[in-house]
Structure 1
Amino acid sequence: MTTDAQGAAGSAAGPDWRPRAHFTPARHWMNDPNGLVHHDGTWHLFFQHNPEGPDWGNMSWGHATSTDLVHWTEHPVALPHDVDTGDQVFSGSVVVDHGNTTGLRREGDPFPPFVAVWTSAREGHQAQWLACSRDAGATWERCAGPVLDRGSADFRDPKVSWWEPGDGADGFWLMAAVEAVERLVVLYRSADLWRWELLSELGPLPQPPGIWECPDLVRLPVEGESGAEGHVLVLSGNDGTVRGCGTWYAVGSFDGVRFTPDARGFRRLDHGPDDYAAVTWNDAPCGRRVLLGWMSSWAYAGDLPTTPWRGAMTLPRELSLRRREGGDLVLVQRPVEEVRPAPGLQWLEVDLDVRDQPSATVELAGGSDGDVARLSYDRGTGLLSLARGPSAGDARPFHPAYPCVSSAPVEARDGVVRLDVALDACSVEVFAAGGEVVLTALVFPDGPMKPRAIPR
């Protein structure tokens, strides 16, 4: 949710599209979430940020914190780009080194060291570096680097977490990163974050399309099965199109060396156009796995009609696995409970009833009759669709790639598809089939959105 300062910055002539319950920076450009970590009651969000303007460039790490995943306080830039060398601070992750495996904790330090593992990027070269914070993320200093260099121009986005094998073996730091253009996920292990050993490589595979970015390998509980867990690899792909820019996931098995996807391979984590670079928080309390994505698309992110900010995050989502008939596991996403009472966020329970008709549609009208999105379900195809742009009655798209119809297969139960829909000032997030299917989309209405059924 925006802070008071952010809300004031968003006041301007014309529609106020700054979200009330989704994080946005007070000013300038934002994309991928980075360094998601929880410590001592505080959720830390670092993010790709241009502190100097509304367009991509000067990539640095912004920083915000929250105690409830709703109200966010933005802090000074954590890791700025290097003006002298031109090195940019690309995506990465943050861990809290409770066991001082790095040796960075000094006598008398009040907190365990926070360690950022991030991609230092310059033209023709990307490698992984470390930075350290001894005051619980407030200030940062770069450590010597690189700590991992493959001599590559596209080796980036390290997601590091502590991995407990669960078989009595010693735990280790696990890194999932990518060779983006080669479409490889590369897994490494380390005892101390300084020295890294290659475990395995995965790819290339038919999906996701385009370049691969922002991997995250997580262990998730299986609903209704005490002690049962599964492994999930989250991965983003971008081929430059709206449909080909998004977040995907594969359920599989990780044996401490290699991740093996099941026969279904990668599937859409979010079927809408605006969820990219989604990753999970490290050290979330009570074993929770909470996911956050960038609510935009590379197809038009640089043209979003917002000011003085550009870029928003999705709602945080709790992850689990659900076993379907036949034994297959499917990912489940639910908005975290903390956001349910968030001020300014409108929740709708929508029933698309096709018991006596071939299809059902609900229009989300916003201000004028021309500013709408549409949710519809077709009984014959079994597809749930979210439309925006001219196909939904909005004749004023801000970019040629913006108008689109996003669809996903959903089974109607007793002839009804029940949706849990979150509406904010510029977004629609649809949760269907109990969280098995999610569609996220930016929208830019003239006023607050409200549902209106379309008779057949």
Structure 2
Amino acid sequence: MNKSIKTDLIARWCFEEQDGTKTLDEVTNIHDKVQYIFEKALFQPDRQIKRRKGISGNALWFDGFSVYIQRDGRKFTYDKGALTFSLWIAPHAFGGIEDERLTALINQHHLVEEKGFILGFHKHGQLSFQLGLTSGWEEVWGENHFLPKDVWSHVVATFDSHEGFMKLYLNGDLIGSKKTQGGKIVPAEVDLIVGKNNNPFVVADTFSLNTFMGLMDKVEIYRRALGEDEILKQYHSYLEPVNGRIPHSISYETISIDRADFTADRHRPQYHATAPGHWMNEPHAPLYFKGKYHLFYQHNPQGPYWGNIHWGHWVSEDLIHWKDQPVALAPDQEEVDPDGTWSGCAHYDENGLPVLFFTAGNHRYLPNQMIGLARSTFEKDGDLNLAKWEKHQDPVIFQPEGYQLDDDGFRDPFVWKEEDTWFQIVGSGINGKGGTALLFESTNIIDWHFKGCLYVSDVKKYPYLGRVWELPIMLPLGKNRKGEEKHIFIISPVGEGADVEVFYWVGTWDKMDGKFTPDQEDPQLFDLGDFHFTGPSAMVDPVTKKLILFTIAQGERPVEYEYASGWAHNAGMPVEIYLGTDDRMRIKPVDQVKELRNEKLIDIKNKTIAEVNEQLEQIQGDMLEIKLKFKNAYEGRYGLFLRQAMNRSEETLFYYDHSQDSFFVDRNKTSLDKKERTKGIQGGEVNLENEPLEVRFLLDKSLVEVYVNEIKSLTTRVYPACEESKGITLFGAEHLIIESMEIWSMNGIN
């Protein structure tokens, strides 16, 4: 660094510490606090603040919602007539900006009072430098310049009251300049913060938006405005060790969320698919291509809250062991989806290459939801992980005119192909009638013709089906006893009065008329767990020819616990759905679950409940598979306690009530933690029709999935406060006979 420049420094953070919760300002020798929610984590051992490879030496990794540097404002003084801010940043996400506030790189400002300074960026990474001067609030923007993600950028902002200019530089180039009205900076009586707006937009009374996510290095503040030659020279000096060029990209491991941070969380599932961290909702767009399964999911890399949705991406060879891939799709200012990249599906183009159909949010249009298309770059790069996708420049489907469609209902495409024709259904609703799926067809996946409504519900007769349907699916289910080909039609209702569960009909698909006709009008419920089994997506597995359904297992945590744990939700176990010999739809976990079994803990046949419970006293676990079959049990209630404390202060009961032919979970004693939302009794009819009760449990930390005679599933959550609440006890009359019971401990997948 040039000596004359160095003498004008008033603060410099290089982040060369290896660990710890403080970082050194090399100019003042002040060790500033790095705020970090996991320093006092509630559900896992303390985690370390991340130092990762920087533009030179180490950089500090900001998680997007809890990491920032803070100094008491009284301990930071500066020349009010001239300043320069210089720093290297590599954003990993830009955040879902709901108003005009900036994601702050460095700030000490009060916008309402028009005081202080802020350097940051707005939607899609547009840089801005703003000052509160004695003459008023002034702003300079990097017009038509947007920061790249996952790449280092050198950002400089200068102010000189004598010359009366504010300037912005990106990688040595001037990208914004503004002549001010005169005056000096009016200091704001707030703390100096690096990486977070000191007046952020707050969602759910908990999460601060406008917080930086990515890497930051070499943050410097000068007492004067550096000149253009000095800035360019400084920029090039950092690049000399790397041949004078900014590294093309930063490795996924260097800049992304580290899932290893969450492995010690005692409530986080270990053998179900999870996002690396932060927020996820529905898995969708399953695809099989050249020996690998791909599954995408709605993901917010910025933090564990809904919003700023990207497409996360996993790859697997067996539908069980999923590996993280870089984000597949993200909102982009220059593409079809600047205002959101929402759910969709995967299929193949005319050449058999993978394509993604997605819901594109674009406020330049009204309605603002349309269908976008992205193609894999496999033909160019041969990458079997399908890490890169290129979006078609225009939407392929707009909301059709001439129908009284719900204003907020056109999303979640699902595509299949029959012979030379592709069909696509899109979730929607007709005003005054209820939810529907709109049908389109195409011969080339670009040009789609609207055919009409696949099926329309009667909202007056079935008000719980809501005014709009999301995530529609239609696939062949197999032949019934009469040899007739049956299809299953799946939807998820939303809107006022909707029961947000996954419903289905079995019926007939008429390709010529473009209509689905259910065998019975009443919709059927997949899962009895009350808003835990949601967000459906499905595929016919080209390898096994089985119909596989994917869902999200809702987390059901208080918002403050999602904040404290740093993650929200996970995928349910992929399940096979099929037509049983009685022509009823059946559901069970995919066969590959058996690969997760570790030690067989118990294998019992033809013993009473009392006898089995004696052996169960030695069994503990929170990652288990349990198969249980009752014999000659034709009255009363019987089932199983899981996650039971030794003194029974905590326990969760799963039971069948013969008088109601129904299966329930009782969570009234699930947790001693009064903040947890796991309460009450949930369940419903299973219609065993005198079949003996046969249940299969998949227990994975806080997640429990139960399959009742492969007729219904029940998905729920359990968050015991006591770590030792891992016991198992049978419930029912002691003389009842257990025909068989097997228990395995289970391995995690990461």
- TM norm structure 2: 0.52
Which residue of the partner structure matches residue 715 of structure 2? 440
| Deviation (angstroms), 1:356 | 7.0
Which residue of the partner structure matches residue 420 of structure 1? 696
1:361–1:376 Cα contact (<8 Å) kept:
yes
Counterpart secondary structure, 2:571: coil
2:558 and 2:695 map into 1 onto residues whose CA distance is 27
| Deviation (angstroms), 1:270 | 1.4
2:394 and 2:293 map into 1 onto residues whose CA distance is 27
- Name the larger-Rg structure: 2
Amino acid at match of 1:380: S
Call closer, same or farther: CA 1:245–1:395 in 2, change over 3 Å.
Answer: farther
Q: Which moved more, 1:204-213 or 1:416-425?
A: 204-213
Is the aligned partner of 1:322 residue 2:576? no
- Name which of 391, 396, 406 aligns with 2:673: 396
Which residue of the partner structure matches residue 348 of structure 1? 626
Counterpart secondary structure, 1:34: strand
1:70-100 per-position Cα deviation (integer Å, ceiling 9, x unaligned) = 2111011010123577411000011122x33
Is the aligned partner of 1:230 residue 2:479? no
1:394-413 per-position Cα deviation (integer Å, ceiling 9, x unaligned) = 3435455x423222223457
2:728 and 2:451 map into 1 onto residues whose CA distance is 51
1:385 and 1:313 map into 2 onto residues whose CA distance is 22
2:670 and 2:272 map into 1 onto residues whose CA distance is 26
Counterpart secondary structure, 2:550: strand
Counterpart secondary structure, 2:469: strand
1:115–1:130 Cα contact (<8 Å) kept:
yes
| Deviation (angstroms), 1:238 | 3.7
Is the aligned partner of 1:75 residue 2:325? yes
Count of matched residue pairs: 422
Amino acid at match of 2:372: W
- Name which of 530, 552, 557 aligns with 1:294: 552
Amino acid at match of 1:271: L
Is the aligned partner of 1:204 residue 2:473? no
1:222 and 1:398 map into 2 onto residues whose CA distance is 48
| Deviation (angstroms), 1:443 | 1.7
- Name which of 226, 230, 248 aligns with 2:503: 248
Is the aligned partner of 1:271 residue 2:514? no
Aligned-residue identity in percent: 25
| Deviation (angstroms), 1:11 | 4.0
1:330 and 1:213 map into 2 onto residues whose CA distance is 24
2:305 and 2:295 map into 1 onto residues whose CA distance is 20
Which residue of the partner structure matches residue 146 of structure 1? 395
Call closer, same or farther: CA 1:229–1:372 in 2, change over 3 Å.
Answer: farther
Which residue of the partner structure matches residue 543 of structure 2? 285
Which residue of the partner structure matches residue 21 of structure 1? 271
Greater RCO, CA 8 A, separation 6+:
1
Which residue of the partner structure matches residue 368 of structure 2? 125
Call closer, same or farther: CA 1:454–1:308 in 2, change over 3 Å.
Answer: same
Which residue of the partner structure matches residue 152 of structure 2? none
Q: Which moved more, 1:30-39 or 1:175-184?
A: 175-184
| Deviation (angstroms), 1:283 | 5.0
- TM norm structure 1: 0.84
1:281–1:290 Cα contact (<8 Å) kept:
yes
2:316–2:323 Cα contact (<8 Å) kept:
yes
| Deviation (angstroms), 1:122 | 4.2
Is the aligned partner of 1:360 residue 2:638? yes
1:340 and 1:334 map into 2 onto residues whose CA distance is 12
Which residue of the partner structure matches residue 64 of structure 2? none
Which residue of the partner structure matches residue 116 of structure 1? 356
Q: Which moved more, 1:375-384 or 1:303-312?
A: 303-312
Call closer, same or farther: CA 1:157–1:454 in 2, change over 3 Å.
Answer: same
Q: CA RMSD in A?
A: 2.9
Gaps of 5+ in 2: 1-252, 379-383, 401-406, 599-622, 734-750
Which residue of the partner structure matches residue 219 of structure 1? 476
Call closer, same or farther: CA 1:348–1:231 in 2, change over 3 Å.
Answer: same
Which residue of the partner structure matches residue 338 of structure 1? 592
Which residue of the partner structure matches residue 650 of structure 2? 371
1:393 and 1:58 map into 2 onto residues whose CA distance is 33
1:21–1:343 Cα contact (<8 Å) kept:
no
2:464 and 2:502 map into 1 onto residues whose CA distance is 8
Call closer, same or farther: CA 1:71–1:418 in 2, change over 3 Å.
Answer: same
Call closer, same or farther: CA 1:288–1:366 in 2, change over 3 Å.
Answer: same
Call closer, same or farther: CA 1:22–1:126 in 2, change over 3 Å.
Answer: same
Is the aligned partner of 1:430 residue 2:706? yes
2:292 and 2:271 map into 1 onto residues whose CA distance is 18
1:45-79 per-position Cα deviation (integer Å, ceiling 9, x unaligned) = 11101111110111110101000112111011010
Which residue of the partner structure matches residue 146 of structure 2? none
Counterpart secondary structure, 1:31: strand
1:217 and 1:397 map into 2 onto residues whose CA distance is 42
2:557 and 2:465 map into 1 onto residues whose CA distance is 18
Amino acid at match of 2:392: C
Amino acid at match of 2:300: N
1:362 and 1:254 map into 2 onto residues whose CA distance is 41
